[in-house]
């Protein structure tokens, strides 16, 4: 991919910037501004060079229909406050009125298109919709790593129609993941958590070729525990994936990789702060109880591996960190992750949210903005949006 500095931007150059501003909003109030903050450096860079900046993003899943509750109006307002300039939200995504509004903008001006997913052509990667988007700009910048695993019109289609480059955020994401996946400082330790092992099987398979140690926590660990023949009570388990996790354990042994599962777990009969808890082995959970967090011995064991690592990748929490006291395991691992001298990458999603919630995000070398995108990048080694950026400019 070319560097953003190689893209020809002068006074009045219209730049279509695909951002990932799919932020949580409750009652019209944005709950997490990470993705807004992440795109600011690219927008400032383009404005400083006299570009006319046309920002586009999706919000939620309107499925090709106009849903007023999913308007980008709150995002445009907050973006304007952070940039210190007006960010006018267009009333539509494409069309003659939008084209006229963009044509009237001056160097350094910023406008935002309405929710891309109000248009059915976005997720369908419709060539006609991509052409309408391309008419709004002279060049294209993808700064939306979090959706670069989607072959959408604004990610792939328009990229083929305009001179293009990655934004500063996408370039930083690629650099961080290449460093940790191509030639990582050793030992390379990966931490995987979250609810469903089915979401991570491809990632586990890919990582076993790269890591020295794989630490597995979260609810997904109970499918491993069931595969060992243990009693897991009411803990989450994907019975149809037991053969898959057995194969993963066997492959790790064959490759000489350490695949470490929880030694103990915190159990309760309900997900509630006032619930009675017990600490048991993950293979000895009582009937009617469910494992909701890794236990203290597991935190100690995982922390020791993290402390001695040369690089650490983390994706997925160790338990139901949103509800104390089931946040202790994730907190313990997060503190070890933030304290290590290793090169650290958090792969977006809930693990990134946990680090921010615990005030540790600033101590991580790279905090990804893409949960699903980071997992697919680890598994496949590429993303449709990144492949599109590497293609030559249209002639």
| Cα angle, residue 197 at apex, residues 179 and 331 outer, rounded to 5° | 65
pLDDT band at 11 (very low <50, low <70, confident <90, very high): very high
Read off the pLDDT of residues 111-137 as tens digits, 9 standing for 90 and up: 999 999 999 999 999 999 999 999 999
Q: What's the average model confidence in pLDDT over 226-235?
A: 95
> What are the tokens at 366?
């790279």
> Of 318-322, 344-348, 390-394, where does mean pLDDT reach its minimum?
344-348
User: Residue 271: what pLDDT?
Assistant: 97
286: number of CA atoms within 13 Å, CB side? 10
- Please check the confidence at residue 209 and state whether its pLDDT lies above 80: yes
Average pLDDT over all residues of the chain: 96
- Alpha helix ranges (H) inside the chain: 34-48, 73-83, 96-103, 120-123, 127-134, 168-182, 201-208, 221-227, 242-255, 296-307, 328-339, 349-357, 371-380, 384-390
Catalytic residue among 196, 246, 297, 356: 196
User: Residue 371: what pLDDT?
Assistant: 83
User: Residue 343: what pLDDT?
Assistant: 97
> Of 70-84, 204-218, 251-265, 346-360, where does mean pLDDT reach its minimum?
346-360
Domains of the chain: 4-170 (3.40.50.1260), 184-379 (3.40.50.1260)
pTM score above 0.75: yes
Read off the pLDDT of residues 323-373 as tens digits, 9 standing for 90 and up: 999 999 999 999 999 999 999 999 877 888 889 889 999 999 999 988 889
> What are the tokens at 64?
């090709």
Catalytic residue among 12, 50, 230, 372: 372
Q: What's the average model confidence in pLDDT over 213-235?
A: 96
Catalytic residue among 348, 349, 370, 385: 349
pLDDT band at 187 (very low <50, low <70, confident <90, very high): very high
The angle, 0 to 180 degrees and rounded to 10, between the axes of the packed helices 73-83 and 34-48 is: 60
Q: Sheet of 278-280: strands edge to edge?
A: 278-280, 265-268, 290-294
200 is catalytic: no
Query: How far apart (Å, rounded) are the C-alpha atoms in residues 177 and 53?
Result: 28
Q: What's the average model confidence in pLDDT over 14-22?
A: 97
35 is catalytic: yes
349 is catalytic: yes
Number of Cβ within 10 Å of residue 96's Cβ equals 9
User: Residue 142: what pLDDT?
Assistant: 98
What are the C-alpha distances in Å from 17 to residues 70, 156, 298, 327? 20, 13, 44, 37
Looking at beta carbons, which pairs linking 67-74 to residues 24 or more positions away fall under 8 Å?
A: 67/115, 67/118, 70/115, 70/117, 70/118, 71/114, 71/115, 72/21, 72/112, 72/113, 72/114, 72/115, 74/25, 74/28, 74/29, 74/30
372 is catalytic: yes
């Amino acid at each position: 991919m070319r560097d953003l500095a190689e893209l020809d931007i002068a006074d009045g150059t219209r730049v279509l910037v695909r951002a990932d501003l799919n932020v949580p909003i409750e009652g019209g109030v944005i709950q997490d501004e990470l993705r807004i903050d992440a795109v600011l450096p690219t927008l400032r860079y383009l404005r400083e060079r006299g570009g006319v900046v046309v920002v586009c993003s999706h919000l939620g899943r309107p499925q090709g229909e106009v849903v007023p509750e999913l308007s980008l109006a709150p995002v445009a307002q907050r973006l304007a406050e952070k940039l210190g300039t007006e960010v006018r939200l267009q009333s539509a995504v494409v069309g003659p009125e939008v084209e006229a509004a963009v044509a009237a903008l001056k160097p350094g001006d910023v406008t935002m298109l309405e929710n891309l997913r109000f248009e059915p052509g976005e997720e369908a990667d419709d060539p006609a919709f991509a052409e309408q988007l391309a008419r709004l700009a002279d060049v294209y910048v993808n700064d939306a790593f979090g959706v670069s695993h989607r072959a959408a019109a604004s990610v792939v289609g328009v990229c083929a129609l305009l001179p293009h480059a990655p934004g500063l955020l996408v370039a930083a994401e690629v650099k961080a993941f290449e460093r940790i996946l191509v030639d990582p400082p050793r030992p390379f330790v990966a931490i995987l958590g979250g609810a469903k092992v089915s979401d991570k099987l491809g990632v586990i398979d890919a990582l076993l070729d790269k890591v020295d140690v794989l630490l597995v926590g979260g609810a997904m660990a109970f499918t491993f525990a069931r595969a060992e023949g243990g009693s897991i009570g009411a803990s989450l388990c994907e019975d149809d994936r037991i053969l898959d996790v057995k194969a993963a354990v066997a492959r790790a042994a064959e490759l000489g990789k350490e695949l470490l599962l929880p030694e103990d777990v915190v159990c309760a009969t309900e997900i509630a702060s006032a619930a009675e808890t017990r600490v048991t082995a993950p293979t000895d959970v009582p009937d009617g109880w469910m494992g909701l967090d890794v236990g203290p011995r597991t935190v100690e064991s995982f922390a020791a591996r993290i402390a001695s690592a040369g690089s650490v990748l983390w994706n997925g929490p160790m338990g139901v960190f949103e509800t104390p006291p089931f946040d202790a395991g994730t907190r313990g691992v997060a503190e070890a992750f933030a304290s290590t001298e290793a090169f650290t990458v958090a792969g977006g999603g809930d693990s990134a949210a946990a680090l921010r919630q615990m005030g540790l995000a600033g101590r991580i070398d790279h905090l990804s903005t893409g949960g699903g995108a980071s997992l697919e990048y680890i598994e496949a080694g590429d993303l449709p949006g990144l492949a599109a950026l590497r293609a030559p400019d249209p002639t």
